[in-house]
A and B are shown apart, each in its own frame.
Chain A
Amino acid sequence: MRKAALCLCLLLGAAPVRAEMPAPRAAELEHMVIQDCGSCHGLTMKGGLGSPLTRDVLDGAPPEALASIILDGVPGTAMPPWRPLLTEAEALWIAQYLLTMEPAR
């Protein structure tokens, strides 16, 4: 599914700067998105204390903007800055992953 997401990303040209990610780290990031981001945003990204992050909701948001939110958080909300735990390339990879993630059944 991760591969499919990246391919789709390339086809659509959604990411001017493609985040290269070694497969083991990509698997860790996917796990982190589902399990840790999922604590607030829902395992299916349909939202919770945090906003929904499904592909439909994000609909065409620039991946760089999403990566910036991931890295620096949203002041005044519960969204923390993940910069201490993620590189910029990893945040961009997550943004691209969210933008292309298949909707949960």
Chain B
Amino acid sequence: MKRLLAATAMALLPLTALSDTAIRATGDLGLVIERASGSLVLVDRSDRAALARIEGLGDLSHASMTYSPDERFAYVFARDGGLSKVDLLAGEVVARTVQAGNSIGGAISDDGRLVAVSNYTPGGVRVFDADTLELVADVPMAGKTIGLADLPGRRFAWAVWDTGEVFIGDFSGAEPAITSLGVAGANPFDAVVTEDASTYLVGLFGEKGVVAIDLWADPPVTTKFLKDYGKVEDDMPVYKMPHLQGWAFSEGQFVLPAVGRHELLWVDRATLQETGRTPVHGQPVFIIAQPASPYVWVNYATPLNGVVQVVDSRTHDVVKTLEPGRAMLHMEFAPRGAEVWMSSRDDNKVLIYDTRTFEKLAEIDATAPSGIFFTARAHQPGL
């Protein structure tokens, strides 16, 4: 099966390296994760085209990546502990280390010098030199680490699924300084930093509530809010953990995916009070703000994952329901919001839609695509 996928893949795309092309920029490039075949498709956003396939990245079943400040290199975090550095200009893997047995994601430091990886086995955070991928620091933890995010000043924040403890690691000095911010709650499933780096939001799976940690306060101050938020009843099975990196911050609000329920929850940013709920098609997975607009786009957990909805953050109403394809796993916007790229895992396509007309503009073949990552992420804190 795997071999068949790979063979199909090779037939679909030219595998020529890009190094023989003329001088080019990377600002409109991106990478699409092909989760079943351990490969990436290099795409050109302006041409709406695939340029190359890059293989040999390991188990990408829960994969993410982050970009170097010059937008030339991607650091790809694979499920199997693989950390790969991909050169977008050459279209190839230029450095790779299998740094743990099981990983969940990673982040790059604000200065672009360090890449940190969040590991399940062994639990902890490992930090690498962004140039060479040599190990710089190893921070073992008492469990699976989640929600790893970069903070200004060569720092990272993360939480531990098993113990609920939240940490900040400062890697600006000769030795790492690790500070515990205490226990946020039972089984934090993901966490995210607001775009102004003021607040670290931690979603809990094992108890109700969301935790906001004020990082601008010294020492940081922890507040629990939405105290009836989350999964408690066993009759609300959660078929896919929501992702919080997509938590949209719109119109002075947070919008959160309800855990297990078919709802979005709106929260006033200043007061942390709930301001509304939106009934939606399924259990939300990603809620992503369309840049330069009042809209957020939402996709859903299996088995209701063939639908993507658009919600107006002013009225909290669903304004558009799309059925772009089967198993819609991810959405990535052009940085100024004009189009959205969406992966249809089971149709083996990336679908490109105009965000104003909702017309499909183009599609790109990809094998079981999941995450789509444009290089513009290089300049966004928290990504």
Contact = CB atoms under 8 A, between A and B. Distances in A.
B49 interface: no
A11 interface: no
B292 interface: no
B269 to A, nearest CB: 28
B158 interface: no
A40 B241 contact: yes
B357 to A, nearest CB: 31
Interface stretch (A14-22, A58-66, A74-82): A74-82
B92 interface: no
Given A36-B239, A43-B35, A84-B237, A48 B120 contact: yes
B302 interface: yes
B234 A73 contact: yes
Given A40-B241, A43-B35, A35 B345 contact: yes
Contact of A81 (B1, B2, B35, B234): B234
Interface string B182-224: 0000010100000000000000011000000000000000000
A49 B161 contact: yes
A76 to B, nearest CB: 8
A43 B60 CA distance: 8
Contacts of B241: 39-40, 49, 78
B59 A43 contact: yes
Contact of B120 (A34, A36, A49, A78): A49
A46 B102 contact: yes
User: What is the predominant secondary structure among interface residues of chain A facing chain B?
Assistant: loop
B53 interface: no
B327 interface: yes
A43 B79 contact: yes
B261 interface: no
Contact of B205 (A1, A39, A78, A82): A78
Contacts of B35: 35, 43
Contacts of B1: 1
A43 to B, nearest CB: 4
A36 B205 contact: no
A75 B121 CA distance: 23
B238 A82 contact: no
A49 B160 CA distance: 12
A75 B234 contact: yes
Interface in B73-120: 79-80, 102, 104, 120
Contacts of B79: 42-43, 46, 48
B238 A46 contact: no
B61 interface: yes
Contact of B59 (A42, A76, A78, A82): A42
Interface in B1-32: 1-2
A62 to B, nearest CB: 23
Contact of A48 (B36, B104, B368): B104
Interface string B228-240: 0000001001111
Interface in B229-272: 234, 237-241
Given A35-B327, A43-B35, A48 B61 contact: yes
21 contacts: A31-B346, A35-B345, A35-B346, A36-B239, A38-B61, A39-B240, A42-B59, A42-B62, A42-B102, A43-B60, A44-B59, A46-B59, A47-B120, A47-B121, A49-B104, A73-B234, A78-B241, A80-B238, A82-B237, A84-B237, A85-B303
Given A44-B80, A47-B120, 10 more contacts: A31-B346, A35-B327, A36-B302, A39-B62, A39-B241, A48-B104, A49-B120, A49-B144, A49-B241, A84-B237
